[in-house]
């Protein structure tokens, strides 16, 4: 069978839930073996963006906040989402300013990712921000944030020990560490 041909046959689909950010669809399907079943898909209406803000001393800025779905506090890189028609880089610049008050003079696209692709079509784009200039943060009313600036090596250790477990943050920090080891980023 061709890898590009979908082995799932969709018999019917139904919108189960929708809000301004997501749409949940339930599909009645025939699975690859021909058996009847259901498949649920969470469709995201925007693209997730993440930013690694690194200053001249190779410090990173992290954002701490309580994450409602997990019922726990989380340390992560600045993150947000695009609007439906918004460019991911424009969204990254906006989110960095909102969450940390930082603007950057240099932007590099680091990664594109699929997040939890067994149940969702959510995509993420991650950027490196350098040449930082501090302004006042402008968090949204739904955000109660703590910002901390730490050496990048400490953030990498937080990933290794589970202190940072958000997938976008983990991938982004590991990508920067790899680029550092390969000499593609200079301290």
Q: Mind listing the pLDDT tens digit for each residue in 7-62? A: 999 999 999 999 999 999 999 999 999 999 999 999 999 999 999 999 999 999 99
Mean of the pLDDT values across residues 155-182? 97
Mean of the pLDDT values across residues 151-175? 98
DSSP track, 87-125: -HHHHHHHHHHHHH-EEEEEEEEEEEEE-STTTB--EEE
Question: Do the beta carbons of residue 64 and residue 57 sit within 8 Å?
Answer: no
- What sign does the CA torsion over 167, 169, 171, 174 have? negative
Q: For residue 50, which of 122, 136, 137 has the smallest C-alpha distance?
A: 122
pLDDT above 90: residue 84: no
Mean of the pLDDT values across residues 99-114? 97
What digits encode the pLDDT tens for the residues 62-75? 999 999 889 999 99
Quote the CA–CA distance of 110 and 112 in Å, as a whole number: 7
The SS3 of residue 5 is: coil
pLDDT above 60: residue 1: no
Q: Please tell me which residue, 86 or 127, carries the higher pLDDT value.
A: 127
Record the pTM: 0.91
Q: For residue 60, which of 45, 50, 47, 73 has the smallest C-alpha distance?
A: 50
Question: Average pLDDT of the chain?
Answer: 94
Mean of the pLDDT values across residues 148-167? 98
């Amino acid at each position: 069978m061709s890898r590009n041909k979908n082995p799932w046959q969709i018999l019917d689909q139904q919108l189960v839930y929708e809000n301004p950010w997501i749409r949940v669809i339930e599909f009645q399907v025939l699975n690859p073996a021909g058996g009847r079943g259901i498949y649920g898909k969470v469709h995201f209406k925007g693209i997730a963006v993440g930013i690694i803000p690194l200053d001249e001393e190779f410090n990173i800025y992290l954002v701490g906040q309580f994450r409602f779905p997990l019922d726990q506090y989380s340390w992560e890189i600045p993150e947000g989402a695009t609007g439906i028609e918004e460019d991911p880089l424009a969204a990254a610049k906006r989110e960095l300013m909102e969450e940390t008050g930082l603007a950057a003079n240099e932007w590099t696209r680091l990664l594109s990712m699929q997040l939890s692709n067994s149940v969702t079509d959510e995509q993420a784009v991650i950027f490196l921000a350098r040449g930082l200039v501090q302004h006042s943060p402008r968090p949204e009313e739904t955000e109660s944030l703590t910002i901390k600036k730490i050496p990048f090596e400490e953030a990498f250790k937080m990933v290794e020990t589970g202190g940072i477990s958000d997938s976008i943050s983990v991938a982004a920090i590991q990508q920067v560490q790899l680029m550092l080891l390969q000499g593609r980023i200079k301290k």
